[in-house]
Chains A and B, each alone.
Chain A
Amino acid sequence: MLETIFKNNGPRIIACCGSGGVGKTSIAATLGIMGALNGLKTIVLTIDPAKRLADSLGIDSFKHEIHRVPHEKFLQNGLKPSGEIYAMMLDTKRTFDRLISRYASGNSQKKIFGNRYYQNLSSTLAGSEEYMAMEKLYELYHEGDYDLIVLDTPPTMRALDFLDTPKRLIDLLGHTYFWKFFRPYLYAGRFGFRLFTIMASPVLKSMSQVTGTHALEDIAEFFNLWDDVLFDGFRKRAGEVQKLLSSSESLFFAVTSPKARPIKEALYLYEKLVEHHIAFGGFIINKVNPSYDESYSDSALLNHPTIDKALAEKLRKNFIKYKKLGGSDASAIEKIKSKAGANIWVSQIPLFDSDIYDIRGLLKIRDHLVNHAHNS
């Protein structure tokens, strides 16, 4: 699997999906490095990387600008990539603004940017981060500057939320309870949501006493603009983004740890990707404890006359705990393998005893991915 994805006819988009805390950013950064080492001009688009990892990729000080990871960082690790690697941290608000600029012009655009409800919504609305990640991905893809775009998806509550986001966001903006309930009043106030409109609804009247009439005016103005100016454009764009994600240009990996909940999420994601005919690269199971051979006996070592009895007992008990951990992880991996079937690539990355925060660490992940690819 991995040998082929970095070839010229491989996918141009790789998305790493999974629950929060499973190490998606590290895996995405590793795949980005692998792209660069295979001669591709690669960009890693991330949302909120751990500070030390961001520092090591050079994206922290550059914040939301596209930044090239310095060549020296590879040279320091004895590597001379024939490609290049860039990194960028997503700026949800700026991406949202660009999207608005695309579909609204002149006075409408000015009104939206000046609308206090929009200013708040563009950075805090649930799902806007996921939607904008996809929007940025789409934008980068069509600009055509990169051979490979690796997307580290936002840590959603459910891995699949990422795929559903455009639809959910549009549904949310287009069909909220608020919108449906107040639509008649908002339309009545289309040419000025003023006091008489508020007074027509007892609920709006009560709300205005809490929020003030200006807040309701802002909301009304935004939803009117949304309906008149933005809705069609956003819906069309969401369709295009989803089309791109389901094309042969995109490949999805499910990143998980060997814990019950992330695995359940990863399997669910896999099923949904298959259902939507989206190309699935495989499962990358991160932070795996080693499995120990059941036939191994520690008696010879621990019963040796030179070893302190109390220490021997502690070693024995500790080993039992680690065997249990390894066994538990192995069962979880088996669960994935049996559900996914023999044709699906399943890779394991160990739980390292040190933190992964720089290129040296990412190369350790790379080694496991490559070795696993060769062994499977």
Chain B
Amino acid sequence: LEFERKAENDLNMSVAAIIVNMVYPEIFNLNEVLAIERMNHSKPEKKQPVIEAAQKQIVRRKLQQSYIHRLITEGEHPVFQLPFYYTNDLDRAQIKDIAKHISNGLFKTS
């Protein structure tokens, strides 16, 4: 947000869009989130890794979405998102997919 403001106001540069990289996808809907919460509370002493991973996914996505929401509401330019691929090293297919997302996003904004 600071860059967006400074680029235009101080540097006279135009910003086409804000690209948010590595966005966690929505995997669980609201009912499923609640069900996972219940599963976790039923045996809190024995946390199941599968539930722990689901909670990480839910919490990380929620945190990211709060920032993306801020970018959308406070920013002055289109915001588009690139997915998180759950890997440390992107392969060719994933890079192609990112390229597709970027061109789709820029095409929409132009």
Contacts and interface: CB of A to CB of B under 8 A. Distances in A.
B89 to A, nearest CB: 6
Contacts of A108: none
A355 B60 CA distance: 10
B88 A260 contact: yes
A15 B48 CA distance: 39
How would you classify the secondary structure of chain A's contact residues: helix, strand, loop or mixed? helix
Size class of the B contact interface (CB-based, 8 Å): 20 to 34
Contact of A301 (B28, B50, B60, B63): B50
B50 A353 contact: no
A361 B2 CA distance: 24
Contacts of B56: 322, 353
B49 A319 contact: yes
Given A318-B27, A354-B63, A355-B63, A258 B88 contact: yes
Contacts of B28: 311, 314, 318
Contacts of A321: 53, 86
B35 A308 contact: yes
B60 to A, nearest CB: 6
Contact of B50 (A316, A354, A355): A316
Interface hub of A296, A301, A354 (most chain B Cβ within 10 A): A301
B65 interface: no
A17 to B, nearest CB: 21
Interface string A345-358: 00000000111000
Contacts of B23: none
Contacts of B36: 311, 315
Interface string B35-46: 110010000000
Which of B28, B52, B88 has the most chain A CB atoms closer than 10 A to its own CB?
Answer: B88
B32 interface: yes
B22 to A, nearest CB: 11
A302 B36 CA distance: 12
Contacts of B50: 298, 301-302, 315-316, 318-319
A324 B87 contact: yes
A298 B49 contact: yes
B4 to A, nearest CB: 15
B32 A322 contact: no
Contacts of A293: 49
B102 interface: no
Nearest to A322: B53
A323 interface: yes
A74 interface: no
Interface string B77-110: 0000000001111000000000000000000000
Nearest to B53: A322
A60 interface: no
Interface stretch (A143-151, A181-189, A206-214, A325-333): A325-333
Given A298-B49, A301-B51, 15 more contacts: A51-B2, A293-B49, A298-B48, A298-B50, A301-B48, A308-B35, A311-B32, A316-B50, A319-B49, A319-B53, A319-B54, A322-B57, A324-B87, A325-B88, A332-B88
20 contacts: A290-B52, A292-B53, A298-B49, A298-B50, A301-B39, A301-B48, A301-B51, A307-B39, A308-B32, A308-B35, A311-B32, A315-B50, A315-B51, A316-B50, A321-B53, A322-B53, A324-B86, A325-B86, A325-B88, A328-B87
Interface of B: 2, 27-28, 32, 35-36, 39, 48-54, 56-57, 59-60, 63, 86-89
Interface of A: 51, 258-260, 290, 292-293, 296, 298, 301-302, 307-308, 311, 314-319, 321-325, 328-329, 332, 353-355
